[in-house]
Chain A
Amino acid sequence: DQQVKQNSPSLSVQEGRISILNCDYTNSMFDYFLWYKKYPAEGPTFLISISSIKDKNEDGRFTVFLNKSAKHLSLHIVPSQPGDSAVYFCAASAGSSNFGNEKLTFGTGTRLTIIP
């Protein structure tokens, strides 16, 4: 049972344009959401997160939007740069008050390619 779904395996975007990566979840207990970025031959690295009490969180070029009623979140990257080409994983956790000791449930990832 895939509780976190990333339905687009790949996405290509022109440099300078906006990249939008989507993620859906089914578990209503999830209350903390994260995006990770992964380059080949490296482990995933944390990018940005959002708590369920918010609907938006920004960090520089990266913004995550959360729509709890739709159980949907998205990551916006603007402007997109060639260095953003990577695999992006959406992840979710239940029990954010004890986050340091909670497992994350990951989606299958979206491969983003930025075209120069």
Chain B
Amino acid sequence: DSGVTQTPKHLITATGQRVTLRCSPRSGDLSVYWYQQSLDQGLQFLIQYYNGEERAKGNILERFSAQQFPDLHSELNLSSLELGDSALYFCASTSTGGNYGYTFGSGTRLTVV
């Protein structure tokens, strides 16, 4: 158990639908990052939150949004889903100011049918 919890582990939904992925960071970590891993692709950075505020944005589609709540958990909302959104979505967290890297959750596998 890495300490980063992602739910659900698997999600199957239809095109056009909306889903919410949830991430609870490791205790004490203020930064949360969301990454997408499509088939045969690397981990693509989507968005970062730090202590409730958006800190950095990557190649995140306008149909996707995220937020980090006062208790530091984060949610990634994916709407108007398309087949190409099928992927593994990872959340990672870090503490502030210097670290050996992220701690990743085990991911949510999203399948859009």
Contacts and interface: CB of A to CB of B under 8 A. Distances in A.
Q: 4 tightest A-B contacts by CB?
A: A43-B104, A46-B101, A108-B42, A106-B43
Chain A: interface size category? 20 to 34
Given A103-B48, A103-B56, A103-B58, A46 B42 contact: no
Contacts of A43: 2, 4, 6, 90, 92, 104-107
B58 A109 contact: no
Contacts of A45: 2, 104
Contact of A44 (B48, B58, B90): B90
Given A101-B96, A103-B48, A44 B104 contact: yes
Interface of A: 2, 4, 6, 9, 34, 36, 41-46, 49, 89, 91, 98-109
Interface in B77-96: 90, 92, 94-96
Most buried by B among A99, A101, A104, A106: A101
B100 A49 contact: yes
Chain B: interface size category? 20 to 34
Interface of B: 2, 4, 6, 31, 33, 35, 40-45, 48, 50, 55-56, 58, 90, 92, 94-107
Nearest to A2: B42
B59 to A, nearest CB: 11
B104 A100 contact: no
Contacts of A100: 31, 94-99
A91 B99 CA distance: 14
Nearest to A108: B42
